[in-house]
C-alpha cells in the first residue's frame, strides 16, 4: 500500500510541476500531412483537403481525392508562407494564417502579359476568345486576356498572383 501511495504521490508531483514530454513539433526536413482550407480575402473558399468543406462551398470535384496534403517542410513545391506556417506546429494543432502575395504566389506582374501570334498557338477549330485557358509546353496554365485577328494577349501570371490568401491549417502527422 505504501508503495502505491508513493507512486501516486510522485505522479501527482510530476503533473503539478509541469514535467512532461514536450510535444513534437514540425521542423524543416520533416514529412508532414495537413488538412487545410484556403480562402481569398473576401472569404471565398478556393481549395480544401476536406471533402465536407468542398461540398458545402460548392467547389467539390468528384475526381479529386480529399485527403490530408503531404509535403516535406523546407522542400520544393509548397508556397513559402504556407511552409513557414506549418513549421513549429504540433500534431493536432490548428492555425489560421494570412499570406501576402509575396508569401504566396507572388505579386501580379504586368510584364507577364504578352502578345503571342495566333500562328504560335495550338490549332483550334473555333476562334480564340477572352478567358480561354491554355497550357504551355511546361504545363503552366495561362489565360487569354485579349485577342485580335493576328495575336492573343496571354497572361502568364499564376492565377492567384497578387492575391492575399488565408489558410486554416491543422497538422495531422509528422514523420522525420
Instruction: Please tell me the pTM assigned to this model.
Output: 0.78
**Which among 98, 127, 125, 130 has a CA at the least distance from the CA of 113?**
130
Distances (CA, A) of 12 to 6, 8, 22, 48, 119: 10, 6, 18, 43, 79
CB 144 within 8 A of CB 134: yes
Instruction: Please tell me the distance from the alpha carbon of residue 126 to that of residue 141, in angstroms, as a whole number.
Output: 19
Task: Please give the CATH topology (third level) of the domain spanning 110-155.
Answer: Thrombin, subunit H (2.40.10)
* Residue 17 pLDDT level (bands cut at 50, 70, 90): very low
Other CB atoms within a 10 A radius of the CB of residue 139 amount to 6
Residues of the chain with CATH 3.10.50.40: 25-107+160-175
* Residue 6 pLDDT level (bands cut at 50, 70, 90): very low
Residues of the chain with CATH 2.40.10.330: 110-155
| CATH number belonging to domain 25-107+160-175 | 3.10.50.40
* Residue 12 pLDDT level (bands cut at 50, 70, 90): very low
Question: Chain-centre distance of CA 170, in angstroms?
Answer: 12
Amino acid at each position: 500500500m505504501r508503495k502505491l501511495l508513493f507512486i501516486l504521490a510522485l505522479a501527482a508531483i510530476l503533473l503539478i510541476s509541469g514535467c512532461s514530454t514536450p510535444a513534437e513539433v514540425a521542423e524543416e526536413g520533416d514529412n508532414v500531412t495537413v488538412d487545410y482550407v484556403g480562402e481569398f480575402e473576401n472569404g471565398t473558399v478556393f481549395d480544401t483537403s476536406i471533402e465536407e468543406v468542398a461540398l458545402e462551398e460548392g467547389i467539390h470535384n468528384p475526381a479529386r481525392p480529399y485527403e490530408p496534403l503531404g509535403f516535406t517542410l523546407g522542400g520544393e513545391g509548397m508556397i513559402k508562407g504556407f511552409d513557414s506556417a506549418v513549421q513549429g506546429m504540433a500534431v493536432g494543432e490548428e492555425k489560421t494564417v494570412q499570406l501576402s502575395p509575396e508569401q504566396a504566389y507572388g505579386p501580379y506582374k504586368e510584364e507577364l502579359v504578352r502578345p503571342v501570334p495566333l500562328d504560335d498557338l495550338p490549332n483550334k477549330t473555333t476562334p480564340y476568345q477572352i478567358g480561354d485557358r491554355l497550357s504551355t509546353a511546361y504545363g503552366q496554365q495561362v489565360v487569354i486576356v485579349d485577342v485580335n485577328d493576328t495575336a492573343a494577349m496571354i497572361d502568364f501570371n499564376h492565377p492567384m498572383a497578387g492575391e492575399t490568401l488565408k489558410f486554416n491549417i491543422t497538422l495531422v502527422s509528422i514523420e522525420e
